[in-house]
Amino acid sequence: MNAPIALFAYKRLDTLKRTVSALQQNVLARESDLFIFSDAAKTQADELAVNNIRDFLKTIEGFRSIRISEAKANQGLAKSIISGATEVLNSYDTVIVLEDDLAVSSNFLSFMNQCLSFYSNYPEVLSVSGYTMPMEVPEDYSYDVYAFPRVSSHGWATWKSKWVGIDWEIKDFDKFKQSATNRKDFRSHGSDLYRMLSRQMQGKIDSWAIRWQYHLYKEKLFTIYPTISKVENIGFGAGATHTTGFDRFTTKLDKSDSTAFQLLPNVASNKKIHEQFMDFYSVKSRGIAKLKQLIGVLR
């Protein structure tokens, strides 16, 4: 049985239409159940846009079944993702999650379902990502996936057994932050991580993903990534909530019609890919990206 899809929407009709259209092109779409979670308007100014979203949602076809949940009050993305994924996993063993600013390849569902099946009994694998950063695959690397100890929020999937019991409140944070070794270890999967976690705990941001990353770190787990991305972020631009202009996450989308993938049997980081991943999330690379984004805004 194919994993159900949880799609989260707010107010961007343009990107949502592209997300749905791309998803409908998947060969497994008509064999998949689609759960759509529509968040309510945060402000009166957003009410028309949200109403337009909900009108469009009622026209969607092309899936085995479609269920639409309309929030009566604004939850925000973090609460929506946690509660929505939990709701689906209360009835299913797996879930594939997409937001309304992600376009997928035509083999996205094939890839995600094969990985969910293959890695279901791997205790060290927390999730599957449909997205990969822009990277060069080593010439001597023969797999269509790689493993890295960091989660991704750009189209992902997980299992009920890996989702239940996560401490979303991070009750041990005060003890964790007192250790310089802990902070250094947490940053070893990306120079941006500890600052994000600290800001989350201070209430300055509201991120479900950084809390999920903390769980991965504590349990010493991995995410499985494709070597060629099955997802691209189309949310950068004038209508984006948090981002405009230059997008450092722009990556090459898989344009092949392949629906069978060579999966990694022994889950461990590949040295050459690991180095690229760490460079992508280094202070230097992130700084250069911010300058490019600023230049784009000023233009």
What is the 3-class SS of the chain, one letter each residue? CCCCEEEEECCCHHHHHHHHHHHHCCCCHHHCEEEEEECCCCCHHHHHHHHHHHHHHCCCCCCCEEEEEECCCCCCHHHHHHHHHHHHHCCCCEEEEEECCEEECCCHHHHHHHHHHHCCCCCCEEEEECCCCCCCCCCCCCCCEEEECCCCCCCEEEEHHHHCCCCCCCCCHHHHHCCHHHHHHHHCCCCCHHHHHHHHHCCCCCCCHHHHHHHHHHHCCEEEEECCECEEECCCCCCCCCCCCCCCCCCCECCCCCCCCCCCCCCCCCHHHHHHHHHHCCHHHHHHHHHHHHHHHHC
The total number of structural domains in the chain stands at: 1
Give residue-wise pLDDT tens across range 174-193.
Answer: 999 999 999 999 998 888 99
CATH of the domain at 283: 3.90.550.10
Domain span at 207:
5-298
Is the pTM for the entire model greater than 0.85? yes
pLDDT of residue 274: 87
> Please, are residues 102 and 232 in contact by the beta-carbon 8 Å criterion?
yes
**Which amino acid is located at 271 in the chain?**
K
Q: What is the pLDDT along the chain (299 residues), one digit of tens a residue?
A: 899 999 999 999 999 999 999 999 999 999 999 999 999 999 999 999 999 999 999 999 999 999 999 999 999 999 999 999 999 999 999 999 999 999 999 999 999 999 999 999 999 999 999 999 888 899 999 999 999 999 999 999 999 999 998 999 999 999 999 999 999 999 988 889 999 999 999 999 999 999 999 999 999 999 999 999 999 999 865 444 444 455 666 788 999 989 999 999 999 989 999 898 888 776 665 554 455 454 444 44
